Amino acid sequence: MIHLIIGTQGAGKSTYSMNLAEKINGIHLSIDDWMQELFGPDLPVPMDFGWIMIRVHRCEQRIWSTAVKIAQTGGNVILDLGFMKVQNRSLYLGLAKEHGISTQLHYINAQLPTRLERVMKRNADKSKTYSFEVSPAMFHYMENEFEPPTEDELKDIVFINTDESI
């Protein structure tokens, strides 16, 4: 099975994903980990969104290929790719269906002040889920990019509110 973890920055997706992986003996695949390890040292200054997105797409392709192999051999995969857009989630759900792989959506949510506070604290502490600095401007930009789950997605979703946890 492939678990798709969706939510905005600071909601607790990475923490939830790592905990879920441990609970179900699954493999956690995070876009942040891949991007930081493969491209972090080469990140242009100032940041170039086009440069980043080309590499995100490459990582997503490799992560997907790895996820399919794991799932087809009976393993559980937790995809921590953000899944900010409905179109992106639909694409991965469709690809899984084409491969005969079952899926589960998990929507991780928390209130905006909680999420912003977590992200700023993660920047300062460089904690376990820290991969790169997220400026307040970047946080607010990404906030506007997120598309909440649709009615269809909500039918079979695992909803987790992390305002009181994490």
Mean pLDDT of the chain: 88
What domains can be seen in the chain, in order of their start residue? Answer: 2-161 (3.40.50.300)
Q: What is the pLDDT of residue 162?
A: 87
Task: List, in order, residues 6 or more apart from 45 with CB less than 8 Å away.
Answer: none
* Per-residue DSSP letter, 1: -
Other C-beta atoms closer than 10 Å to the C-beta of 93 total 17
The model carries a pTM of 0.86
Q: Which residue has the higher pLDDT, 120 or 5?
A: 5
Q: Is pLDDT of 46 > 90?
A: no
The tens digit of pLDDT for each residue in 104-137 reads 999 999 888 887 787 777 767 776 665 666 666 7
Using CA atoms, how far apart are residues 49 and 54, in angstroms rounded to an integer? 9
